[in-house]
Amino acid sequence: MTKIQSIPTKQMTEVTLDRLALRLEIEEFNARYCHALDDGNLQNWPDFFTEDGFYSITARENFDANLPVGLVYCEGRGMMKDRAFAIANTAMFAPRYLRHHLSNTRVIKEHADGVIEATANYIVLQVLHDDPVSTIHQAGFYKDEFCRTETGTLLLQKRICVYENLMIPNAVVLPV
């Protein structure tokens, strides 16, 4: 029989609550992030990142093999702004609705330097205006690194969207 150690109940509760609070904070962040994209507010999207933040969308195939390509590959907020601008002003694509569904948000690790590694699973449903059926546009998970601004606000310094559907259905127009 393993001896059960007695741990002060109060301490355990604090740790647990801290973790729960952080997870809720990230969920809150992600909810705002998804809302910006689902709502088509693309110009606000780069603001979820730090100035030198990194964003990419890549296949599970590449992620597992450490292959660096991204379907979208943005080094820094500047590239994200360019993409947001191009999608909004120059790109030609069929009108559509996208809706993100997130679950299993999980804090992986809090680093001493304040970086928070986290993950969440996502499904993005897509409805094309001329097609009544909504389809799974992407299914995968975020691989995130958050940090805090001086005022304590969470920002993404890295988000890799790893999708597990083998095929992209025709085109990925909006960020995931």
Partner 1 sequence: MSWARAISVSELQEKGCAGVLLNGLNVALFHLDGDYFATGNVCTHQFALLTDGHVEDGCVECPLHQGLFDIRTGKAQGSPVTKDIPTYAVKIEDDILYVDTDMPGQTVATTEPKAENITSTSSRIVIVGAGQAAGRAAEAMRDAGFNGTIQMIGDETSAPYERPPLSKAILTGAASADTCALFASDRMAALDIDLITNTRVDDIDRKARTLTLSGGTKITYDALLLATGARVRPLPIEGAELEGVHYLRTLDDAMRLKAAMEKSQSLVIVGAGFIGLEVASSARQLGKTVTILEREERVMTRVLPEAASTILESRATANGVDIRLGVQLEKLSGTAGHVDTVQLANGDAIAADLVLVGIGAIPNIELAQKAGLSVRDGVIVDAQGRTSDAHIWAAGDVAQYPHARDDGPKRLESWHNAEEQGRCAGRSMAGLPTDYSALPWFWSDQFDGSIQVVGIPQSNNETVLRPGTNSEGPAVFCLDDKGHLTAVIGFDNPSAISLGRKVIPKQEPIDLSLLIGSPSQNDLEEQESEEMTISNRYRWPDAGAEAIPDWVYTDETIYGREVEKIFHGRTWNYVALEAEIPEPGDFVRSNVGPTPVVVVRGEDGAINVFENRCAHRAAEFCREQRGKATEFVCPYHQWTYDLEGNLSGVPFRRGVAGKGGMAKDFKPEEHGVKKLFVTTRRGVVFASFAEGMESIEDYMGPEILTDFDATFDGRKLKILGYYRNTLPGNWKLYHENLKDPYHATLLHTFLVTFGLLVAGNKSEMICDATGRHGTMASAKSDGKKIDEATRKEMRAYREGMGLNEPRFMDFIEEFDSPWSVTMQTIWPNLIVQREMNTLGVRQIVPQGPHSMIMNWTMFGYEGDDEEMTRHRLRQGNLMGPAGFLGLEDNEAIKFVQDGMKHSSGGDHLVALDPDTPTGTSDTLISESAIRGMYQYWRKEMGL
Report in angstroms how near the CB of residue 110 gets to partner 1 at its nearest: 28
Q: Which residue in 116, 63, 62, 53 sits closest to 83, CA to CA?
A: 53
Q: Is residue 90 a contact point for partner 1 (CB under 8 A)?
A: yes
Q: Is residue 44 a contact point for partner 1 (CB under 8 A)?
A: no
Question: Residue written as tokens 């299993």?
Answer: 104
Q: Is residue 170 a contact point for partner 1 (CB under 8 A)?
A: yes
Q: Is residue 72 a contact point for partner 1 (CB under 8 A)?
A: yes
Angle at the Cα of 64 from the Cα atoms of 63 and 68, rounded to 5 degrees:
35
Q: Is residue 91 a contact point for partner 1 (CB under 8 A)?
A: yes
Contact window for partner 1 (CB under 8 A) among 12-20, 61-69, 111-119, 141-149:
61-69
Question: Do 160 and 58 meet the contact criterion of CB atoms below 8 Å apart?
Answer: yes
Q: Is residue 61 a contact point for partner 1 (CB under 8 A)?
A: yes
CB count within 10 Å of CB 108 equals 11
Nearer to partner 1 among residue 31 and residue 69 (C-beta): 69
Edge to edge, the sheet with strand 96-110 lists 72-75, 49-59, 154-163, 134-148, 116-128, 96-110
Contacts with partner 1 by CB under 8 A lie at 57-59, 61-62, 65, 67-79, 81-83, 85-86, 89-94, 166-173
